Chains A and B, each alone.
Chain A
Amino acid sequence: MKQIYCLRLFMFIMVMFPLTSFAQGTVSGTITEASTGNPLPGANVVVKGTSNGTTTDFDGNFNINVNNFPATLVVSSVGYTSEEVGVDSAQSVNVSLQDGVALSEIVLIGSRSAGRTAIDTPVPVDVIDVVELAAQGPQTTVNEILNYVAPSFTSTTQTVSDGTDHLDPASLRGLGPDQVLVLINGKRRHKSSLVNVNGTVGTGSVATDLNAIPAAAIAKIEVLRDGAAAQYGSDAIAGVINIVLRENTNELNLMVNSGANVSKHSEQYDEGGMDGERFQVSANYGLDLGNNGGFINFTGSLENRGATNRSDSMQQPIFTMFDTATRMLGYDQAFAMNPSALSAYVGSLDSTLQSVYDNGIANGDDFLDIIASDAGPGGAQPITEYELRQRGLTRDDFRMKIGQSKLRSGKFMMNMELPVDDNGGTFYAFGGLSFREGLAAGFFRRPAYTDGRGTTAALENGFLPHIASTVVDKSFATGIKGNIGDWKVDFSNTFGRNSFDFTIENTANATLGASTPREFNAGGFAFSQNTTNLDLSNFYEDVFEGLNVAFGAEYRLENYQLIAGEEASWASYDVNGDVVSASTPDDDKVYSYFGRLVPGGSQVFPGYRPENATDANRNSYAGYLDVEADITEDFLVSAALRYEDYNDFGNTFNWKVASRYKVTDNIALRAAASTGFRAPDLHQIYFNATSTLFVAGVPNEVGTFANNSRLAQLLSIPGLEEETSQNFSLGFTAKIPEAGLKLTVDGYIVNVDDRVAQTRSYSSSGQNAEVQQIFSDAAAGSAKFFMNAYDLESSGVDIVIDQKMGIGQGTLNNSLAASFRKFEVTDVVEVLGQEVLDDRAKGFVESAMPRTKVNLTNMYSAGNWNFLLRNVYFGEVNDPDFEGSASPVIYGEKIVTDLSIGYTLDDNITLTVGANNLLDVYPDEVPTASNYGDQFIFSRRTSQFGFNGRYVFGRITFKLK
């Protein structure tokens, strides 16, 4: 309670402080709209050359203190052309602003015509001013910024999910991460090389790595919330994200950001403290190239992100009697004892252990069960408790790392344009290089793992294996654009490559016992994409009220590589140190004390085997025609056709029509219908990760088989084809200048057919003789595949309201963005008599992300002060782990509050402090019985808003000219 009082007092002081500032020499006046004469609230009035400014009130009136006369007042407002007015003394000034648009309001995406304002486009587009948000908001990466700003965009950091820990799967309108096309400066961005195969939102998909792009390099992000495959090609089913890079010159922008999670669950659940320390420095600088508007802009960014951990003490059994014997006798010496002797020996060490032994004998339990089963009365774990005491350890020593992974990154981005003639000819290039090292942990290999993966021969207390990912992302685009006659021509080539390399650290190959290495190169992936585009467009002013005709072609080359790891990362070794093969006698294989075949390969992440290695290519070409006509000043119609041909699965033809009709100057209706597609990613076609188990000397392959594998053919699993979609949207836009308010409401339906997904794991067990023969012929024990698996029906409504108003001497910008949606998985394909998706996989698609999300952002600027208050409502989500069960688990809706306060010391230095999730809100907890011994206290399956808790930060921004 005291904390809340202090917080309120602090906020009150922060809000009131600027209002108490005053100066002398007051200029007053009224700002009006030139076309109507109506007063213009929320208009900015700034003394030129200073940071001294104010905004108009609801009646368009303002008062501003001017220290030195003569002075020039700059009057501006969004949607109007700025005016400058000279003042010589304290006086009254009235200014009328003409209609116009601010540069940042112009939308480049969704139309190949000249830019329109977001409110004039026939399809919904959000324009996100990253420069402003990166300066004021707590979020620092592209995914984070979009998650808290863009309606219908969802992305959270995953945990204990291998490579996905370092690449946040992002979703637009709740569709898959691979159903969003990402552009940089309008050019197709390559995807990540990682296919998500862990149990997270977006499993089975290949996302674009947005975090490879430094936020400091971005001027704005346009989010097109509508299908656009007919315009931009594959992937643009849910929409398109266009990242527009900064172009500023002769200005060094330096940002130093530091923060940490200061939360009630930091470091350990319910302990409180600080973790997740983050330190980021970025610099952006541009130079003029020539005297014709050419520029080159560079951005460098370094970031260090600490790990967070929200687990509590490990409540799972940690030790068995075998471990007690190991401690007392030595590993090999304990192994030499028969279970009868070992259990009796351990039982004799302590009365609690004797009780375990006696109870087991009385129950007629097997000796191995007595040794392994650490189950005492009332849930007690007498063996673990005894052993912890003897070893001087606590359950805290066996905690997992459940939270944000550690990450260190360095990113570089360049953007340049160089005019080469006086006719608009411009050479341009942009590209970047990013290097990220992530470190995420897996499941703690407790000694109690009776199959030997705890590797107590080498590590008596088990170990917490880590996956170190090295993600390198390179991109370079170059092109030339200009005019040939009346036609605008743009010829470009864009190359991108993303690679993921896995090093497994602090782990072991259990079949090597005490001689195991502790670090393994487990292989990785690489994905390259080269896209060549030729775009031509012509704007006919005299046709209707304007007609834009565009056409073009695209040729794309893709390459996917799966790289094998070192032998020890995937191999099972026998007792002689030789790789287990079909000829290895059973007696020579490595078994645990409990008689189980010890799994080979590096624990937590077995490396990719040589037979998994892949180097696959694909090419495609496309042609499109795009027409956009202003039939009248009020009525806009656009249509697009696109044909694409892929050398592996065939061709596809897509179309789109869209229209906007202005009912009045301030109200417009808009609608669009389109078809779309998404080519199956090379990853999905060729990814395979199998391991070999020898059962009675017969090698059995288990794992994920490539879609074109022999087993897939034997099971009649069809080759992957494109997903197709039908998109429909209907909405209206409105603006109320008198209130400084803009409103868009858009409803949509997206139906996806033949969605590509990873199937459940199939085994031949219980199948008929023919199926068993197929598995036997392929030497497969169990198998899963990527295939066109199901249809998806998605619908929803997005509402965006922006308002600007003057309060006191400042400007208040209010933005409300709400997204409501629902999904249904239908027509799931069956294989071997079972649907290929189980309930959990359906849950990931249907309800693991909020179906409702509402964002209310209030930004107040007054003089040198800036305040940001943001409340984001995240709707309830279902835990996929409980889908289909008698007791589904729902995590309730939450509101997360961000607050930041910035102060500009002079024109060059801005200090900002603030917090994300100020009130330290956490998702509902996983039922205790299902939280893996207090480790997964918050679900790792859902994607709501993460569970890092309160993040506080401080930031210094320098601007040097």
Chain B
Amino acid sequence: MKNLKYVYKFILVVPLLFMVGCIGTDDYSDVVSNQYSQQSTVFIETDDASEITRTVPGNVAQPIEVGVNNAPSSDITVSFSVTKDGGDAVEGVDYMISDATILASEVVGSSEVTFMSSGIYVVTVRSASDGSRIAVDNKAIFNVPPAVTVSISWGDAFYDYDLYLIAGNQDINGEVLANTFDTIAFETFEVYPPEGFSSVFIDDWWDDNAGTDVILIVEVDGNIEIYDVVMDQDKFVLVIETSYDADGNPEYDITPL
């Protein structure tokens, strides 16, 4: 009987020990991994939601913004790589670009790129002066479409004709996109007509309305079209309808008037 009491007591104590022992047992724990690093990066700064190609005119400086994921303690110079149509682009021939500078304690810096001929350009960060920074190859993509060169010439410099490209279909009140005001017998400009209609207008500066024969030359990507114009008054002489294909390349539909 005495032994039995010991058994009873033991049976009573064991569960209590068990209950107490269960307090604070691991019910959960954080999922731990120790594979972390703290790399620094430099990249093209953009708000673009998706990869887009910007169509920009040649010979016009385009801003390029760069960013870093943590502010540097000293200035950083960022250089760029530029490709054209999938191959190397030649600086000074195809494009001009300057290094960007990100000042100490800043996270963004800027530069400009100018494209000098038509083509698809991809600008990426090549490197940073802080060599520990990883240059991310996210891209700024530009489509520089071929320019439209419009020229007029006539025989007698006595007359003065000026050349305009006006937005819209023969809309005399439209925005002037390009013009020339020379006083010689030759006027010319290179333009990137915007999507939609734009019109070439020749202004007889002195309003001579002399019926002068004027030669109108339109060159697009090496292809030349020549039109004869009789300047008996100020007039629209061409309508250019510009559209873009799926790759962002412009197509010009030119209609003489």
Are B12 and A281 in contact (CB-based, < 8 A)?
yes
Are A329 and B69 in contact (CB-based, < 8 A)?
yes
Are B43 and A391 in contact (CB-based, < 8 A)?
no
Are B51 and A304 in contact (CB-based, < 8 A)?
no
Are A398 and B31 in contact (CB-based, < 8 A)?
yes
The interface stretch among B109-117, B132-140, B149-157, B220-228 is B132-140
Q: Does A368 contact B (CB under 8 A)?
A: yes
Are B28 and A279 in contact (CB-based, < 8 A)?
no
Q: Does B39 contact A (CB under 8 A)?
A: yes
Chain B: minimal CB distance from A911 (Å): 12
Q: Does A302 contact B (CB under 8 A)?
A: yes
Question: B8 contacts which of A254, A302, A334, A365 (Cβ < 8 Å)?
Answer: A254
Q: How far is A254 from B13 in the complex, measured between Cα atoms in Å?
A: 12
Q: How far is A391 from B33 in the complex, measured between Cα atoms in Å?
A: 5
Q: How far is A329 from B8 in the complex, measured between Cα atoms in Å?
A: 62
Are A339 and B51 in contact (CB-based, < 8 A)?
no
Report A432-460 residues with CB < 8 Å from chain B CB: 439, 441, 459-460
* B39: A residues at CB distance < 8 A: 328-329, 333
Report B25-69 residues with CB < 8 Å from chain A CB: 27-28, 30-41, 43-51, 67-69
* A327: B residues at CB distance < 8 A: 35-37
* A956: B residues at CB distance < 8 A: 11
Given known contacts A279-B15, A336-B107, A441-B28, A366 and B49 CB-to-CB distance under 8 angstroms: yes
Nearest B residue (CB) for A256: B11
Chain B: minimal CB distance from A280 (Å): 8
Are B30 and A459 in contact (CB-based, < 8 A)?
yes
Chain B: minimal CB distance from A587 (Å): 15
Are B136 and A341 in contact (CB-based, < 8 A)?
yes
The interface stretch among B16-24, B159-167, B207-215, B232-240 is B16-24
The interface stretch among A170-178, A461-469, A887-895 is A461-469
Nearest A residue (CB) for B36: A327
Q: How far is A327 from B18 in the complex, measured between Cα atoms in Å?
A: 41
* B11: A residues at CB distance < 8 A: 254, 256, 956, 958
* B134: A residues at CB distance < 8 A: 345
Report A378-426 residues with CB < 8 Å from chain B CB: 390-393, 397-398, 406, 408
Nearest B residue (CB) for A393: B33
Are B41 and A461 in contact (CB-based, < 8 A)?
no
Chain A: minimal CB distance from B122 (Å): 12
Q: Does A235 contact B (CB under 8 A)?
A: no
Chain B: minimal CB distance from A871 (Å): 31
Q: Does A338 contact B (CB under 8 A)?
A: yes
- 1/0 per residue A289-329: CB within 8 Å of B? 00000000000001010000000000000000000000111
Q: Does B70 contact A (CB under 8 A)?
A: yes
Are A466 and B27 in contact (CB-based, < 8 A)?
yes
Q: How far is A256 from B14 in the complex, measured between Cα atoms in Å?
A: 10
Nearest B residue (CB) for A464: B28
Are A361 and B51 in contact (CB-based, < 8 A)?
yes
Q: How far is A341 from B107 in the complex, measured between Cα atoms in Å?
A: 14
Question: A461 contacts which of B27, B31, B107, B137 (Cβ < 8 Å)?
Answer: B31
Q: How far is A398 from B31 in the complex, measured between Cα atoms in Å?
A: 8
Are A341 and B138 in contact (CB-based, < 8 A)?
yes
Are B15 and A337 in contact (CB-based, < 8 A)?
no
Q: How far is A439 from B26 in the complex, measured between Cα atoms in Å?
A: 12
* A439: B residues at CB distance < 8 A: 27
Chain B: minimal CB distance from A520 (Å): 15
* A368: B residues at CB distance < 8 A: 49
Are A329 and B51 in contact (CB-based, < 8 A)?
no
* A332: B residues at CB distance < 8 A: 70
Given known contacts A304-B18, A366-B50, A439-B27, A345 and B33 CB-to-CB distance under 8 angstroms: no
Q: How many residues of B contact A (CB 8 A)?
A: 43
Are B38 and A338 in contact (CB-based, < 8 A)?
no
Q: How far is A398 from B30 in the complex, measured between Cα atoms in Å?
A: 10
Are A340 and B46 in contact (CB-based, < 8 A)?
yes
Chain B: minimal CB distance from A369 (Å): 8
Chain A: minimal CB distance from B215 (Å): 45
Q: Does A330 contact B (CB under 8 A)?
A: yes
Q: How far is A83 from B240 in the complex, measured between Cα atoms in Å?
A: 120
Given known contacts A333-B40, A340-B51, A281 and B35 CB-to-CB distance under 8 angstroms: no
Q: How far is A332 from B71 in the complex, measured between Cα atoms in Å?
A: 11
Q: Does A918 contact B (CB under 8 A)?
A: no
Q: How far is A337 from B138 in the complex, measured between Cα atoms in Å?
A: 11
Nearest A residue (CB) for B11: A256
Q: How far is A333 from B133 in the complex, measured between Cα atoms in Å?
A: 12
Are A367 and B50 in contact (CB-based, < 8 A)?
yes
Given known contacts A337-B67, A340-B44, A367 and B36 CB-to-CB distance under 8 angstroms: no
Given known contacts A333-B38, A367-B51, A408-B19, A340 and B138 CB-to-CB distance under 8 angstroms: yes
Q: How far is A705 from B138 in the complex, measured between Cα atoms in Å?
A: 49
Given known contacts A337-B43, A338-B47, A393-B33, A466 and B28 CB-to-CB distance under 8 angstroms: yes
Interface centre among A332, A341, A406, A956 (most CB of B within 10 A): A341
Are A392 and B33 in contact (CB-based, < 8 A)?
yes
Question: B22 contacts which of A304, A328, A361, A463 (Cβ < 8 Å)?
Answer: A304
Nearest B residue (CB) for A390: B35
Q: How far is A336 from B67 in the complex, measured between Cα atoms in Å?
A: 9
Chain A: minimal CB distance from B180 (Å): 40
Nearest A residue (CB) for B37: A328
Q: Does A506 contact B (CB under 8 A)?
A: yes
Are B31 and A462 in contact (CB-based, < 8 A)?
yes
Chain A: minimal CB distance from B89 (Å): 20
Given known contacts A340-B51, A365-B50, A956-B11, A304 and B27 CB-to-CB distance under 8 angstroms: no
- 1/0 per residue A250-280: CB within 8 Å of B? 0000101000000000000000000000011
Are A254 and B67 in contact (CB-based, < 8 A)?
no
Nearest B residue (CB) for A282: B15
Chain B: minimal CB distance from A25 (Å): 28
Given known contacts A341-B67, A348-B137, A361-B51, A279 and B19 CB-to-CB distance under 8 angstroms: yes
Are B22 and A408 in contact (CB-based, < 8 A)?
yes
- 1/0 per residue A218-257: CB within 8 Å of B? 0000000000000000000000000000000000001010
Q: How far is A256 from B68 in the complex, measured between Cα atoms in Å?
A: 66
* A304: B residues at CB distance < 8 A: 18-19, 22
Nearest A residue (CB) for B15: A281
Are A463 and B30 in contact (CB-based, < 8 A)?
yes
Report B58-86 residues with CB < 8 Å from chain A CB: 67-70
* A341: B residues at CB distance < 8 A: 41, 43-46, 67, 136, 138
Q: How far is A168 from B11 in the complex, measured between Cα atoms in Å?
A: 30
Nearest A residue (CB) for B31: A461
Are A336 and B33 in contact (CB-based, < 8 A)?
no
Q: How far is A406 from B27 in the complex, measured between Cα atoms in Å?
A: 9
Interface centre among B14, B38, B136, B139 (most CB of A within 10 A): B136
Are A345 and B38 in contact (CB-based, < 8 A)?
no
Question: A254 contacts which of B12, B33, B50 (Cβ < 8 Å)?
Answer: B12
Q: How far is A956 from B15 in the complex, measured between Cα atoms in Å?
A: 12
* B12: A residues at CB distance < 8 A: 254, 281
Given known contacts A254-B8, A338-B67, A441-B28, A329 and B38 CB-to-CB distance under 8 angstroms: yes
Q: How far is A439 from B48 in the complex, measured between Cα atoms in Å?
A: 46
Question: A505 contacts which of B15, B28, B49, B69 (Cβ < 8 Å)?
Answer: B28
Residue pairs across A and B with Cβ atoms less than 8 A apart, 5 shown, are A336-B70, A340-B46, A341-B46, A348-B137, A390-B35
User: Besides A336-B67, A460-B36, A466-B28, 11 other CB < 8 A contacts?
Assistant: A304-B22, A329-B38, A329-B39, A332-B70, A333-B39, A338-B45, A366-B50, A368-B49, A398-B31, A461-B32, A958-B11
A→B interface (CB under 8 Å): 254, 256, 279-281, 302, 304, 327-330, 332-334, 336-341, 343-345, 348, 361, 364-368, 390-393, 397-398, 406, 408, 439, 441, 459-464, 466, 505-506, 956, 958, 960
> Which 8 residue pairs are nearest across A and B when measured between Cβ atoms?
A341-B43, A391-B33, A344-B138, A461-B31, A281-B15, A333-B69, A341-B138, A340-B138
